[in-house]
Amino acid sequence: MKRFRRTSRLIAPFVAITVVLAACGGPPPVPDTKNLDELYQAAKAEGEVVWFAPKPEAQMQPAIEAFKKKYPGIEVKYTNKKAPDLVTQLNVEQAAERVTFDVSNAGGLTVLPSQPMAAKVDWSNYEVPSEQIFAHDFVYVWAVPKVWAYNTNVITAGDAPNSWDALLEPRWNGGRVSVESRGSFMTVWLLDPALGSGPGLDYAARLAEQAPHYTENTTQAHTLIVSGQTPVGTDLINLVLEDKAKGAPVAVAPVSPTNANKSYLFVPEGAPHPAAGRLLTAFLASKEGQAALVDTYNSIIPTDTDCTEAATNRVIGALCDAGVEWYSETDISQYEQFSEFFPEVEDALGTSVN
C-alpha cells in the first residue's frame, strides 16, 4: 500500500507549493502549525472539512453547529459511512493519491487497518488531552457500549435476562434472541480477566445451540428488538437511548459485564484539507466538542466502570442504572487479539463466511 510521507517542512510559499503538488497529482501540503490559533488560520484558508463517520448526520449536527460557531469560515460536509467501508475507500484513494475526505473513524476491527493510513499528528500541539490520544495518531472521541436490550412491550423488566448465563435459558430458544453474527458483542470476554477467551468460545458455542436469530450487524438486531420480532438481543446503548427517547419500547437489560467500545477519529494521510481535518478532530475531543456530542449519546466515557458522572452523562447513567459494568480497550495489542478472537467466535456461532 502506497503511503504519503512528509520529508521536510514547508520551505516555500503555501500557494506555490499547492500549485506544484496539484500539477503532480500528489497530496496537498500540511501547514506547519504549532497551536490552535495557527491551525485555525490554515483551516480557514482551506475553507471546508469533509468528515466521514458511521453515525446518522442528525446525531452529529449539534457538534457540527458548535464547530462552525467557534470556527466561522469553515464549511463541514458530513457523510454517514460504515467503518469497514471507510477502510476500503481510503485504501483505494490513498493508492491513487486522490483522498476525498479529511476526518475518518476507526473502532473495533477497523483500528488495525486504519493505523497505517493515518497522518502523523502531534495532537498535543492542539490541546487534545493526553488520555484521549491513542496509538499516537488516533483521538478518542466517543464510546459505543455494546449491551443486551429487550422490548418492554413483550417482556417485563423482571423477566428480562440479568446475566450472560440467563441468556442460555430454554425460554430464549428458537430465535427469541437476536445476535450480531460478527461476534463483536463478545469483546468483553477478552477484556475482563474474570471471563477469558477460552470460556468465551465455549459460551458462544452454547449460545449457538439456542438457535438465535443472527443479524449482519448490531443495527439490524436493534431493529428487531424495537419491533418486537425478537424480545431480546445484542444492541448498542446509543441506539437504545435514542429510540427510547422517541417513545420506543426498548430498554437496557442488566447483563453484565460489557464492552464500552472506543471510537477514534483520525486525519488520513493525503487528506484534501489537512488543517481543517486536524482542527475538527481537536474540537470534537475538547470540552466544547464533548458538550455538543453528549446529548446525542456519543461522548467519551471512563475506560472502566465509573458512575461518577452518571447524572450528567446519559450513557453512563443508563449503564449504571441497569447495573452494567464495562471494560474498554487500553492498548493496540488488544485490537490484535480481537482480530484473532472474532473469527473464532464466528466459528463457534456457526456464522463464519471466511
Residue 15: CB atoms within 10 A of its CB come to 10
Q: What was the pLDDT predicted at 353? A: 67
Nearest to 232 by CA among 287, 188, 180: 180
Residue 1 scores a pLDDT above 70:
no
How confident is the model at residue 86, as a pLDDT? 94
Give tens-digit pLDDT for 182-229: 999 999 999 999 999 999 999 999 999 999 999 998 999 999 999 999
Q: How confident is the model at residue 354 (pLDDT cuts 50, 70, 90)?
A: low
Q: What is the pTM of this model?
A: 0.87
Q: Do residues 248 and 224 make contact, with C-beta atoms less than 8 angstroms apart?
A: no
The percentage of residues in the chain with a pLDDT greater than 90, rounded to a whole number, is 87
- The pLDDT tens digits of the residues spanning 128-157 come to 999 999 999 999 999 999 999 999 999 999
Section 160-172 average pLDDT:
97
What's the pLDDT score for residue 18?
A: 38
Going by pLDDT thresholds of 50, 70 and 90, the confidence category of residue 352 is confident
Residue 19's pLDDT band (cuts 50, 70, 90): very low
Q: Is the pLDDT of residue 334 over 90?
A: yes
Bridge partners of 51, per DSSP, are: 78, 103
How confident is the model over 280-294, as a mean pLDDT? 96
SS3 (DSSP) at 279:
helix
Q: Grid coordinates standing for 108?
A: 473495533
Question: How much is the pLDDT for 32?
Answer: 86
- pLDDT score for 89: 97
Q: Is the pLDDT of residue 348 over 80?
A: yes
Give one DSSP letter per residue of 35-89, joined into a string.
Answer: SHHHHHHHHHHH-EEEEEESS-HHHHHHHHHHHHHHSTT-EEEEEE--HHHHHHH
Which CATH architecture describes the domain 36-141+262-296?
Answer: 3-Layer(aba) Sandwich (3.40)
C-beta atoms surrounding 184 within 10 Å: 21
Give yes or no for a contact between 130 and 40, defined as CB atoms under 8 angstroms apart: no
146-259+324-349 homologous superfamily:
Periplasmic binding protein-like II (3.40.190.10)
Given this model, what pLDDT does residue 314 score? 92
The 10s digit of each residue's pLDDT in 78-119 is 999 988 899 999 999 999 999 999 999 999 989 999 999 999
Q: CB within 8 A of 191, min separation 6: which ones?
A: 259, 327, 328, 329, 334
**Is residue 31's pLDDT more than 80?**
no
The string of DSSP codes covering 313-329 is -HHHHHHHHTT--EE--
pLDDT higher for 333 or 30? Answer: 333
* Residue 230, C-beta contacts closer than 8 angstroms, at least 6 positions apart: 151, 175, 176, 177, 178, 213, 221, 224
* Mean pLDDT rounded to a whole number for the chain: 91
Q: Which residues lie closer than 8 Å to 13 by C-beta, 6 or more apart?
A: none
Q: Does the pLDDT of residue 291 top 90, yes or no?
A: yes
| 295: confidence class by pLDDT, cuts 50, 70, 90 | confident
Helix axes 287-294, 57-70, angle to 10 degrees: 150
Write the pLDDT tens digit of every residue in 39-55. 999 999 999 999 999 99
Residue 2: predicted pLDDT: 38
Share of the chain above pLDDT 70, in %: 92
CATH 3.40.190.10 positions along the chain are 36-141+262-296, 146-259+324-349
Residue 28: band (very low, low, confident or very high) from pLDDT cuts 50, 70, 90: confident
Q: When comparing pLDDT for 280 and 14, which is higher?
A: 280
Q: From CA 238, how far away is CA 282, in angstroms rounded?
A: 22
Return the residue matching grid coordinates 449491551: 147
